[in-house]
Amino acid sequence: MATVSMAFSLPALNSRNLRRVKRNSGMAFATVSKETTALGVKITEGEGNLPKVVLTSAGGSEAELYLFGGCVTSWKASNGKDLLFVRPDAVFNKKKPISGGIPHCFPQFGPGPMQQHGFARNMDWSIVDSENVEGNPIITLELKDGPYSRAMWDFSFHALYKVILNTKSISTELTIKNTDNKPFSFNTALHTYFSASVTGASVKGLKGCKTLNKDPDPANPLEGKEERDVITFPGFVDCIYLDAPNEVHLDNGLGDTISIGNTNWSDAVLWNPHLQMEACYKDFVCVENAKIGNVQLEPERSWTAKQHLSIS
């Protein structure tokens, strides 16, 4: 798999603020000062020496975000418990997407004419802004088209991804802008992996939704309607819920109830691979905010969707 490489150096601690630095390649890296670190934003080397952003709130919560894939890989509440899950087979070498956390699916959800889940999770995102509001760090990343993306999807676009960490929540805001001179369409999702005990995990809030169930045949989803108040994960689960509500609740089976809210993510997906991933399926479930139907964007128009994960 081809990837886009990004020149990166560890942040210097003598600059006065977080700033964007342009490279000849059009990518960017950031330097960070002691002042910025005090605002809850730290840039360091993560797994595989990949650049990683660590966000820390005044309330003691913490999140980690890799620039490769724009992937949030960790969200710890103030008690230090990680509510997200990264699979043990995840690699951090840019040869494949990071398997776990909150990967991007864009501009394609699932299989299709291009590689699985599109290309956004296989590219380097750049830092464009960082701030702190009342002790809550906020960072904004961007992704633009390049030779790698255009080989699969020949359009010019600009994506912005804002991540906001609070004491008991983490929120994201994804904006896609058409910077081409012709219209394009896409679909997208946040493929969120939650730490869970699969035998005890359940989801509430999807009763009444139209379903596209990929069990037993992923290639031929069965249409139906969700009749259950509480959805569990007794085996292989791969189901799309159309016109989902703007909030569902996950009991992760580990003592936590997580509210999964959204604005403009019209659909939801539940997934657990069961014995297809025998080494780890018992330790996570995926509850994903998604836009399954195509978003049509004219030139210079934008689409925005927000996700809000919180614990009580």
Q: Determine the 3-state secondary structure of 278 from DSSP.
A: coil
Catalytic, 288? Answer yes
∠ Cα 224 227 232 (to 5°): 100
Write down the catalytic residue from 62, 64, 226, 288: 288
72 to each of 4, 13, 114, 275, how far by Cα in Å?
Answer: 19, 24, 23, 26
Contact 3, 121 (CB under 8 A): no
Non-local CB neighbours of 4 within 8 Å, separated by 6+ positions: 27, 122, 123, 124, 146, 148
For residue 35, the surrounding DSSP H or E stretch is helix 34-38
Please give the backbone phi and psi of residue 41, each rounded to the nearest 5 degrees, phi first: -125, 120
Q: Determine the 3-state secondary structure of 283 from DSSP.
A: helix
What does the longest C-alpha to C-alpha distance in the chain come to? 59
* CB atoms near residue 232 (< 10 Å): 17
Residue 15 is classified by DSSP as: S
Residue 120 is classified by DSSP as: G
Write down the catalytic residue from 62, 117, 173, 191: 191
Catalytic, 191? Answer yes
Token pair, residue 304, equals 């925005």
Rounded CA separation 125/118 (Å) = 15
Active site positions, annotated? 191, 288
